[in-house]
Amino acid sequence: MRNTKKALEELSEALETINHGKRLELADCISDTLPSKISHQLVRLSDQIWESKQQVCRERDGLKELISEIAHQLRNPLANMESYLELLSSENLSAQEQAAYFQAVMAAEQRIRFLTESFIKMARLESRVIQIRKESCSLHETLLSCILQIRQQALEKHIDVQLSMEPRLSVPHDANWLGEAVVNLLDNSVKYMQDGGRILIKAEKNAMFTEISVQDDGIGIEEGEENLIFQRFYRGKRVTVEEGFGIGLYLAREIISQHDGFMKVKRQKQGLKVSIFLPAR
């Protein structure tokens, strides 16, 4: 009878610990007899509640950080737009000045639109709202479509873009979303490269993975930045005057992760090689 009473008291204390939002330790529980089984279940329940609580805290902190980052990123283009709109309201502007200020307002508007669309994509990817629909289709067609999307920017800088792969190569993927990830890589290569550079896109398949690599002879990155460049809003130490927000590689990694794949970066003597690895099946 005494043992039963003691066991019930310990169970009551364990429940009280959980009710107060504290984590229940195994050492706090009954060590033998039937109540020990209940105590182990309580520990498991406590762990689940604790982990859920920690997850809510992480999500809340992440949301705070994202809102702060969004506000920071939008501040400059909004301030620029406000300044140029104020200048446009002046009555003493020449037609040439009006055109220049109008173009500046349009550029600021485009930056804000790009940021807004990127934030929406980030939120949808992170919350798993987006459904990646993988189909076994031509990787060659997907990559050719990516090249067409950056073709004009490449032509303007006289950049040679080459594709090396077996045309019949197929791999399960969502053509739209994988295309977006690859375009982000290509866009970075074009943006951070001098005129007359070269981009080589390769795709190879082995028993386990299909590797899609984008190699360029651009400015590259510093040693130790291999993982940093995938962080949201991170911009490389070698980036000086080129415009950008540090979003493309972050989005690319999220997309590839939802393809059950991963990405790797390798510094080159000149330039950078970014590889995407997708499951072969």
**What is d(CA 12, CA 84) in angstroms, rounded to the nearest whole number?**
68
pLDDT digits (tens, 9 = 90+) for 162-190: 999 999 998 999 999 999 999 999 998 99
Q: Is the pLDDT of residue 28 over 50?
A: no
3-state secondary structure of 194: coil
**What is d(CA 38, CA 136) in angstroms, rounded to the nearest whole number?**
49
Provide the pLDDT confidence category of residue 275 given band limits of 50, 70 and 90: very high
Q: Is the pLDDT of residue 18 over 70?
A: no
Mean pLDDT, to the nearest integer, of 35-60? 70
Tokens found for residue 39: 């105590």
Mean pLDDT, to the nearest integer, of 237-253? 75
User: Domain 1-130 falls in which CATH fold?
Assistant: Helix Hairpins (1.10.287)
Question: Taking the CB of residue 216, how many other CB atoms lie within 10 A of it?
Answer: 26
CATH classification of 137-279 is 3.30.565.10, yes or no?
Answer: yes
Greater pLDDT, 213 or 73: 213
Percentage with pLDDT > 90 across the chain: 33
Percentage with pLDDT > 70 across the chain: 78
3-state secondary structure of 205: strand
Mean pLDDT, to the nearest integer, of 149-170? 93
| Among 4-8, 116-120, 136-140, 147-151, the least confident range | 4-8
pLDDT at 186: 95
Mean pLDDT, to the nearest integer, of 90-106? 84
Mean pLDDT, to the nearest integer, of 73-83? 79
**What is d(CA 108, CA 110) in angstroms, rounded to the nearest whole number?**
5
Provide the pLDDT confidence category of residue 4 given band limits of 50, 70 and 90: low
Provide the pLDDT confidence category of residue 34 given band limits of 50, 70 and 90: low
Mean pLDDT, to the nearest integer, of 23-29? 57
Spell out the long-range contacts of 126-133 with Cβ–Cβ below 8 A and sequence spacing 24 or more: 126/254, 128/258, 130/177, 130/258, 132/174, 132/177, 132/255, 132/258, 132/259, 133/174
Residue extents of the structural domains in the chain: 1-130, 137-279
Question: How high is the mean pLDDT of the chain?
Answer: 81
pLDDT at 30: 46
Query: Is pTM beyond 0.75 here?
Result: no
